[in-house]
C-alpha cells in the first residue's frame, strides 16, 4: 500500500545509466527493490540498444555510492536468460560499520549459463510464481524463505522443446545470492 515506485519501459543503455546514477535520497525508504525484465546472457541484460552489465546496475546502490541505502535491504530481481543451456529433468530418488556491498540480495530467474523459460501468453514462469507466492505469503514469510518456495515451485515446471531430438523435458530453477545482514519481511506499517 505505502510503496512508491517508478516504471521504465524500453530504455536505452545510456538512459538506464542516468536513471541509476541520479542519486535519489532513500532516507524514508525501508528497502530498495529493482526488477529488470529483459533478455540477457552471462552477466549482462539487454537494453533497447545494447547490453548493460549487472554489476554496473548494482554498483550504483552500494553504500559508498548511495549512502541513504546503507543498512537497508537492496533487492534485485533479474528475469533474463543467463546463457543458452537447457536444464533437463532427472528422476527424484545494526552495526557501527557495514561493508559497502552489504544488504544486497540478487534474485535471478535461472542459474548462470541457463535459459529462462516463459509462456507466450502469460509471460515469465519465474515472475508468475514469484508474484503468486508474494501475494499468498509475502507478509508472513521471511523473504529468503519465500524465494526458496519459488525455487521449488518453478523446479516442478517442465517443457518439451521441439528442437530437442530426444524430446526430453527441460527444466528451470531460479537462484538467489544473499548478502543481507538481517531477516527481511514485507509487513504493513
At what angle are helices 125-137 and 143-155 packed, to 10 degrees? 130
Instruction: Specify the pLDDT at position 177.
Output: 93
The pLDDT value recorded for residue 61 is 87
Q: With beta carbons less than 8 A apart as the criterion, state whether 63 and 26 touch.
A: no
Confidence (pLDDT) at 1: 57
* Alpha-carbon gap, residue 81 to 108, rounded angstroms: 9
The pLDDT of residue 93 is 60
Residue 78 neighbours by CB distance under 10 Å: 24
Q: Can you list the domains of the chain with their CATH numbers?
A: 13-93+95-178 (3.40.50.1460)
Annotated catalytic residue 22? no
- Decide if 15 contacts 57 (C-beta within 8 A): no
12, 39, 131, 137: which one is catalytic?
39
**Predicted local distance difference test score (pLDDT) of residue 71:** 87
Q: Which of 44, 66, 81, 86 is catalytic?
A: 81
Is 39 designated active site? yes
What is the model's pLDDT at position 88? 66
Residue-level pLDDT at 40: 87
* Assigned C-alpha cell, 64: 559508498
Q: What is the pLDDT along the chain (189 residues), one digit of tens a residue?
A: 567 777 777 777 777 777 776 567 888 888 888 888 888 888 888 888 889 888 888 888 888 888 898 889 999 999 887 877 776 665 656 555 777 778 889 999 988 888 888 888 998 999 999 999 999 999 999 999 999 999 999 989 888 776 666 667 888 889 999 989 999 998 877
Cα Rg of the chain, angstroms: 18
What pLDDT, on the 0 to 100 scale, is given for residue 146?
97
Amino acid at each position: 500500500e505505502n510503496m512508491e515506485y517508478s516504471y521504465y519501459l524500453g530504455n536505452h543503455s545510456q538512459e538506464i545509466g542516468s536513471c541509476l546514477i541520479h542519486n535519489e535520497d532513500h532516507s524514508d525508504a525501508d528497502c530498495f527493490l529493482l526488477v529488470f525484465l529483459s533478455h540477457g546472457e552471462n552477466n549482462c541484460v539487454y537494453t533497447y540498444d545494447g547490453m548493460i552489465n549487472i554489476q554496473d546496475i548494482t554498483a550504483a546502490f552500494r553504500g559508498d555510492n548511495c549512502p541513504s541505502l546503507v543498512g537497508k535491504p537492496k533487492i534485485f530481481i533479474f528475469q533474463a536468460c543467463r546463457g543458452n543451456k537447457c536444464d533437463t529433468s532427472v528422476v527424484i530418488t545494526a552495526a557501527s560499520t557495514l561493508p559497502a556491498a552489504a544488504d544486497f540480495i540478487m534474485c535471478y530467474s535461472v542459474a548462470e549459463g541457463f535459459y529462462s523459460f516463459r509462456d507466450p501468453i502469460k509471460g515469465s514462469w519465474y515472475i508468475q510464481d514469484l508474484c503468486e507466492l508474494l501475494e499468498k505469503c509475502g507478509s508472513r514469510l521471511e523473504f529468503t524463505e519465500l524465494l526458496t518456495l519459488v525455487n521449488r515451485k518453478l523446479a516442478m515446471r517442465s517443457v518439451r522443446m521441439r528442437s530437442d531430438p530426444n524430446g526430453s523435458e527441460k527444466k528451470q530453477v531460479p537462484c538467489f545470492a544473499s548478502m543481507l545482514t538481517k531477516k527481511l519481511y514485507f509487513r504493513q506499517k
